[in-house]
């Protein structure tokens, strides 16, 4: 019987330099889309997929991220005293059960593959998920839950994938497709940030993974790759070379790259427009901006 996916790794050690000066004192992962931090979207998605153990790979200066998941007795008492039960429920949704969350330090910024490798002892010999909070995916069924459902039918490693424009392929890990089966594609190779014109397809790896523990053995052996970092893509490609199955999964939903300022702003607008309490005012504001721009032309 195939083991269920109950553990997830969240690589959150990055400095978030593209968002300076905000990230000088605020970890990027707790910057907010509307009124929820990026990490909350990732945690909620993981919970919906059945994840029970949450492993954060952090670095110095991430104390505020760790504090975010703690109980807040004073704030809780104040909300209860004022009868703000809805806000109290919202606050409780941010809490993590004792023992459900663990923090591992990545002392050197050696890449995503190294960050995942840092959590190897907490994963042991089990399949596991990896979620990159920078990739926020709006979907009716959360992306990782879609992948877990696919995993239950398909053995091996599964990576979330989406088509990208050819001129953007050099910014991603790109799949070399063996067989296209619709939502799933069988993969015969992976290339991290291929040079323009050399990409084997336009199907890019996005920040959701279901991986087998053999990935850690591969990471033990891999030297630095693209950008001088230890690439997770290279470890997955090595699993293919070792005869293990790897699949790309075309998820249903819209992905926002919240590691970039433009993507973060786009996500903020999209998530706000999806809210009943914000949609009307924001729609009118956006309409007025567009109208004024057209009038000025």
Q: Is 82 helix (H, G, I), strand (E, B) or coil?
A: coil
**In this structure, are residues 188 and 177 in contact, taking their beta carbons and an 8 Å threshold?**
yes
The pTM for the full model equals 0.89
38 Cα distance to chain centroid: 9
How many CA atoms, within 13 angstroms, populate the side-chain half-sphere of residue 48? 15
DSSP string, 28-56: GGG-EETTEEHHHHHHHHHHHTT--EEEE
- As a whole number of angstroms, the distance between CA 297 and CA 293 comes to 7
Contact criterion met (CB below 8 Å) for 175 and 248: yes
In this predicted structure, what is the pLDDT of residue 272? 94
Residue with tokens 């497709």: 177
Strand partners for 174: 191, 204
Domains of the chain: 7-259 (3.90.550.10)
Are the beta carbons of 109 and 180 closer than 8 angstroms?
Answer: no
10-residue averages of pLDDT along the chain (297 residues): 85 85 85 91 94 90 80 85 86 78 86 90 92 94 95 89 87 87 89 82 92 91 67 88 91 93 94 92 89 71
pLDDT in the model for residue 171: 84
Distance of CA 285 to the CA centre of its chain: 30
Q: How far apart are CA 5 and CA 229, in angstroms?
A: 27
* Residues 199/170, Cβ–Cβ less than 8 Å: yes
Name the 3-class secondary structure at 14: coil
Distance between CA 69 and CA 101 in Å, rounded? 9
- Predicted confidence at residue 226, as pLDDT, reads 55
Cis peptide before 88 (omega within 30 of 0): no
Helix, strand, coil percentages (3-state) for the chain, rounded to 5, are 40, 25, 35
How far apart are the C-alpha atoms of 256 and 118, rounded to whole Å?
A: 27
């Amino acid at each position: 019987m195939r083991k269920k996916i109950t553990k997830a790794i969240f690589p959150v050690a990055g400095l978030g330099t593209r968002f300076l000066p905000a990230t000088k004192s605020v970890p990027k992962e707790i910057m907010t889309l509307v009124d929820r931090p990026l990490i909350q979207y990732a945690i909620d998605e993981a919970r919906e997929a059945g994840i029970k153990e949450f492993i954060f790979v952090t670095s110095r200066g991430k104390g505020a991220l760790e504090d975010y998941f703690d109980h807040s007795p004073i704030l809780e008492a104040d909300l209860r005293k004022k009868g703000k039960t809805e806000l109290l429920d919202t606050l409780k949704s941010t809490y993590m059960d004792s023992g459900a969350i663990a923090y591992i330090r990545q002392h050197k910024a050696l890449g995503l593959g190294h960050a995942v490798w840092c959590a190897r002892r907490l994963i042991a010999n089990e399949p596991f998920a990896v979620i990159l909070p920078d990739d926020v995916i709006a979907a009716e069924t959360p992306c990782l839950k879609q992948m877990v459902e696919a995993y239950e039918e398909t053995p091996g490693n599964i990576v979330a994938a989406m088509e990208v424009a050819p001129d953007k392929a050099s910014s991603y890990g790109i799949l070399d497709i063996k067989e296209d089966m619709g939502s799933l594609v069988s993969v015969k190779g992976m290339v991290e940030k291929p040079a323009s014109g050399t990409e084997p397809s336009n199907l890019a790896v996005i920040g959701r993974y279901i991986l087998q523990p053999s990935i850690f053995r591969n990471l033990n052996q891999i030297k630095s790759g693209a950008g001088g970092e230890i690439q997770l893509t290279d470890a997955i490609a090595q699993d293919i070379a070792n005869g293990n199955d790897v699949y790309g999964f075309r998820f249903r939903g819209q992905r926002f790259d919240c590691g970039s300022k433009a993507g973060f702003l786009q996500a903020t607008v999209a998530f706000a427009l999806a809210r009943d309490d914000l949609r009307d005012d924001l729609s009118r504001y956006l309409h007025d901006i567009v109208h004024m721009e057209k009038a000025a032309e």
